[in-house]
Amino acid sequence: MPLTREQILNTSDIMVEEVAVPEWDGTVLVRGLTGAERDALESNIVQANRDGSTTVDTRNLRARLVALCVVDEDGERIFSDEDVDALGRKSAAALDRVFSVAQRLSGLRAADIEELRKN
């Protein structure tokens, strides 16, 4: 039997996973992006040029995604957008570990970034 509108809208479908980060001496909670958050991230990555072309800005992408996806026990972000540069200065290994989980939980693939470059 197909799902109803109410069933879909009332389903808690954002996954959260605890990730050990030895470089930070502890664990963090990582959640997947919502559809709106993913669209906003992708819009931020694509930069329009004056000549009508576009470029993909992946600078500090790991830190950007980590800032969006690391949450407290109530599911609230613990990092603000203003924390991205500071996060970018943290261990690449730690960021990559958290980024990989956030990427998986959000359904982001490396091919998605490449597709943004093409389009």
CATH (domain of 85): 3.30.2220.20
Residue 41: closest CA among 22, 57, 25: 57
Contact between 27 and 21 under an 8 Å Cβ cutoff? The reply is yes
74 falls within a domain? yes
> Can you give the pTM of this predicted structure?
0.86
Domain range for 85 is 15-118
51 falls within a domain? yes
Q: What is the pLDDT of residues 26-81, one digit of tens each?
A: 999 999 999 999 999 998 888 878 887 888 888 999 999 999 999 999 999 999 99
Residue 102: closest CA among 59, 66, 74, 64: 66
Beta bridge partners, 71, equal 29, 77
Determine the pLDDT at residue 99: 97
Number of domains present in the structure of the chain: 1
6 falls within a domain? no
For helices 61-69 and 35-45, give the axis angle rounded to 10 degrees.
160
36 falls within a domain? yes
Determine the pLDDT at residue 53: 80
59 falls within a domain? yes
| Terminal Cα-to-Cα distance of the chain (whole angstroms) | 37
